[in-house]
Amino acid sequence: MVNISSAPDAAPPETKPQFRFRPVFTAAGGSVLIIASVTLIRSLLSRNSYEIALSSAALLLLLVLGILGKWKSLKMEPLEPGWKPPYPMTANAAENCIQVTGLDASGAAAVPLFFRMHFIVKGRFFPSGRTRENFRGCPVLVETSVPRGETAARLPFDFPVSGAFHGDGYCVLRDIFGFFSFPCGVSTRRTVNVRSAPCFGTKLPVNPQSGAEDRRNKTSSSEERYYMREYTPGDRFRDINWKSSEKIDALITRISPDNQEKVSRIEIYLRGFGPGADKRENRASLEASWLLDRAKASLAYFLRSVKEQNSSFVFNVRCASGSRDIEDDEDMDAFLEELAGVSFSPQQNEIVESVSAVGDIYVFSTACDTGLPGYLTANSQRHVSLFLVQPAQAKKESENLNIKDFIRKGCVPSARWLAGGKTAPLSVRANRMELIYAGVRL
């Protein structure tokens, strides 16, 4: 079994990042400090008592707030806030919130008057179709104010597309005037995989005989290696348990629970080939990334719906970086978590003979996959069901991604990313096709 995840540089779930210098003055506080200092110097030269009093009061206020805030932030250094994103985390879900705990500031470390504690999550989001090697990611900044006296808080945390988020969560102590922001407590780093928003399509009936049959032994645990029953004509004499038979004065036969079970293997191929996979090229547009996101969502829906029809199916999912067998719900959950970080792969020469020649094959791809026509031609002897995500077209119902959702959710998309070119529709044919249309709009 090969791990299909292609998300690079996966960080551990929780680590303490290196110390980063954060200025205690906000933009407003720095501006007030400069203006008050200049005003005080000018008023002293001109001997303007009104301006002297006004600028001195402003500087005194800054001094008092700065000393008080710094003192209290040092008292809060042992504070260890914990933040837990929802699991599994799905893109574009209104209920996505971070649960922040461990905000128990009391005693000498209590939040002083005219100050509030804020919890901030700051980092970078790598959307579907992007990797950390060739893309710096989208800056993310979300924060919430902790009510006075509370030890927990909720922070809205959501993304419009699938991908991976790498960032820090930390507390700051801010005055109500917005002049200072003092870091306090321990900062923690997390990596969060964001799965694609659900794609509800037509349930595709899968004939159990359309998959490749696999015979495998099904064996019970060693504690229940055999079970006993009364001898019946046709049983082998060597299976008779003579010791047990003597005790009850009847012939008892040992039966091994080992049997052979037929399993239907469903061959699936996720073709995540497209632009932006080369380090030297960063041409994947927002539209292309959205097409890949919808292809992954379509695959997730297919797996779930088919598993509901027949739980005995075993899926063999292949992609550019490897393959994985999905046999049960645990395998399904692990695969969907890895699928969130799968990005575009460069086009490559494929060995079609590596795919089993028995049974149907289910292919999920996008209009960015320029090698798809050749792949379908090479597999013309097999029954291919193609799920293809095409760019939005007029008079066609499509799933749309709104650019404004990035800003609304605290994520700033790259200008170069937004300026990417349009994706042309792909003209292909397969035995059975399901077209999904996806577009980007403001």
**Residue 250 carries which DSSP code?**
S
Residue 55 has pLDDT above 90, yes or no: yes
Let me know: does 174 contact 106? Beta carbons within 8 Å.
no
Tell me the mean pLDDT in the region 197-211. Answer: 65
- Residue 334: is it exposed, middle or buried by C-beta count within 10 angstroms (0-12/13-18/19+)? middle
Let me know: does 113 contact 69? Beta carbons within 8 Å.
no
Contacts (Cβ under 8 Å, ≥6 apart) of 233: none
Residue bearing tokens 């292809």: 295
294/389 Cα distance (integer angstroms): 7
Rg of the chain, C-alpha, whole Å: 31
30: helix, coil or strand? helix
Let me know: does 130 contact 159? Beta carbons within 8 Å.
no
Query: Which of 31-35, 292-296, 409-413 has the lowest average pLDDT?
Result: 409-413
What are the pLDDT digits (tens) for 233-285?
Answer: 656 667 788 777 777 777 887 765 544 445 578 889 998 887 755 544 445 67
Tell me the mean pLDDT in the region 91-113. Answer: 82
Greater pLDDT, 5 or 396: 396
Greater pLDDT, 351 or 27: 27
Amino acid at 3: N
The pTM assigned to this predicted structure is 0.73
Residue 335 CA neighbour count, 13 Å, CB half? 26
Q: With both helix axes pointing from N to C terminus, report the angle between 329-339 and 286-309 in degrees, rounded to the nearest 10.
A: 180
In the chain, the domains with their CATH numbers are 27-195 (2.60.40.10), 208-212+263-441 (3.40.50), 220-257 (no CATH)
What are the pLDDT digits (tens) for 118-162?
Answer: 999 999 888 875 655 556 778 899 988 888 878 888 888 988 888
